Amino acid sequence: MPETPQPRAGALVPLTYGGKPIHDRGETVSLTDMWRAAGSPKDKRPNDWLALGGTIEFVAAVEASFNAGQDGIIRGERGRGGGTWSHWQIGLAYAKYLSHDFHMWANTAVRDRMREAHETPRIAGNPGDPATVLQVIQHLQAQIAAQGQRVAALDRLEGAEGSRCITDTAKLLKMSRDALTRWMVEHRWIYRRPGTDAWVAYRDKEQALLLEHVPYHYAGRDGTPRVKMQVLVTPKGLAKLAALHGRQLDA
């Protein structure tokens, strides 16, 4: 069993999902932490997933790609902070297996973490050096300010008045309408009833005030006034989509 690495100097704070920490070290992430953060589903434990045929093939592909043996890609650790650890590529695949929402969050978190790792100053030499400490404090203050601006923008979006159709929502998210529609279908935001061409919001998304239905009036081919229900994205829904897709929107 490999020795548990000690946290490196200047290590980044753990990721959190649902208030639960997910630890990462360099290129590896704790699958056990991911499983716990996703609600500890009994049928989706890390070892059970790693035993699946598709997972075994994917792990072999990662090993070949990085020219590393399995010990360098997946390892088990005992004691405090132990559990199952893997390369982050495998971690993302496991996130997809756990749930759609967790997968979306993980994609954004890994991207932000990689950027953070490149931007965070390393504590070199004497960590008590006032100049080094000041540099770290200034960097962290800038990061906090940037995050504060993003949160404030999302709060303004959520508190704004007026819902938007899917087309207008896609424009704000800088996505195509088709791409956003596919995503909303795949992640169970909207669906179509058989024999109709109108989108319908899933009840849980409507109850969460992310989507709503409004009457849409139009003229039929024969000129007869008609009405059908149209799905709109609420301000709260727009803020949620922006956060899931990692978009910075102007409020």
Q: Along the 251 residues of the chain, how does pLDDT read in single tens digits? A: 333 333 333 444 568 888 888 888 878 889 999 999 999 999 999 999 998 888 888 888 888 777 655 556 888 876 665 689 988 889 999 999 999 999 998 888 877 766 665 555 544 445 556 666 666 666 666 666 555 555 555 455 555 557 889 998 888 888 899 999 999 999 999 999 888 888 999 999 999 889 998 887 767 777 777 777 889 998 888 888 887 776 544 44
The verdict on 138 and 248 lying in the same domain is: yes
Cβ atoms < 10 Å from Cβ of 110: 18
Nearest 10 degrees: Cα torsion 157, 158, 164, 168: 40
The answer on 146 and 30 residing in a single domain is: no
What torsion, rounded to 10 degrees, do the Cα atoms 78, 84, 89, 93 define? Answer: -170
Does 4 fall in a domain? no
- pLDDT for 4 equals 35
Residue at a domain's end among 120, 147, 178: 120
Q: Which helix (H) or strand (E) element contains residue 14?
A: none
For residue 199, the surrounding DSSP H or E stretch is strand 199-201
Query: How far is CA 121 from each of CA 138, 205, 214, rounded to the nearest angstrom?
Result: 10, 41, 51
The reply to whether 113 and 167 lie within a common domain is: no
Instruction: Specify the pLDDT at position 5.
Output: 37
Same domain flag for 201 and 90? no
Instruction: Tell me which long-range contacts 47-51 makes (C-beta under 8 A, separation of at least 24).
Output: 47/84, 49/94, 49/97, 50/74, 50/84
With respect to residue 7, please indicate whether it lies within any of the assigned structural domains: no
Domain-terminating residue out of 73, 91, 120: 120
Domain shared by 134 and 240, yes or no: yes
pLDDT at 96: 92
One domain, residues 172 and 102: no
**Cβ–Cβ contacts within 10 Å for residue 237, how many?**
26
> Three-state SS for 192?
strand
β pairing state of 190-192 and 28-30: unpaired
Q: Choose one of 82, 100, 120: the last residue of a domain.
A: 120
Residue 148 is predicted with a pLDDT of 55
CA angle in degrees (0–180, nearest 5) for 7-10-11? 45
The H helix count followed by the E strand count for the chain is 11, 10
Residue 30, domain extent: 15-120
The SS3 of residue 124 is coil
Rg over alpha carbons for the chain, rounded to the nearest Å, is: 23
Output the CA torsion sign for 108, 111, 114, 120. Answer: negative
